[in-house]
Amino acid sequence: MSDLPPDLDRLRTLETWLSISLKRVREEIAAVERPAQPRRSPRPSAAARAAVPRRERTPDWGISSADIGAPVAEIHRGDCFAGGAMQPLSAERARAELADGVRACGVCRPETVLRRP
């Protein structure tokens, strides 16, 4: 005496159910085993790396224009938060601007570094 159904339709249904159950069990086994394996971070392809826009390098020095919030132009360090939109300058040009009377920022105090020999 078998504990399986006697007709073909129910046997096929049971076969389908067992196949689906076996697939789910195998997926669960793979999920449990996955953390035991060392993880590798996927490297982006060369095309993906090329598609990412490069951020411009922060200039070492800059000059902010006279504007509504700033009545006069000022020399700033490139990373100064008070500089706002600045035009990049070389150290030599920043020294020359300071020598010509352009004001130094009171926050980042670029003259302390620029006037060193």
Q: Could you give the count of Cα atoms lying within 13 Å of 87 in the half-sphere of its Cβ?
A: 9
Cα–Cα nearest to 76, from 115, 100, 107:
107
Gyration radius from the chain CA atoms: 35
pLDDT in tens, 42-71: 777 777 777 777 777 778 888 888 766 666
* Residue 98 near residue 75, CB atoms below 8 Å: yes
- Say yes or no to pLDDT of 12 above 60: yes
Residue 39 is predicted with a pLDDT of 63
Query: What one-letter code names the amino acid at 64?
Result: S
Classify residue 46 by burial, with Cβ atoms within 10 Å: 0-12, 13-18, 19+.
exposed
Residue 10 is predicted with a pLDDT of 92
Q: What would the DSSP string read from start to end of 91-113?
A: HHHHHHHHHTTPEEPTTT-THHH
Q: What is the pTM of this model?
A: 0.50
Take residue 29 and report the two structure tokens written for it. Answer: 């086994």
Give CA–CA dist 113/5, Å, rounded.
Answer: 90
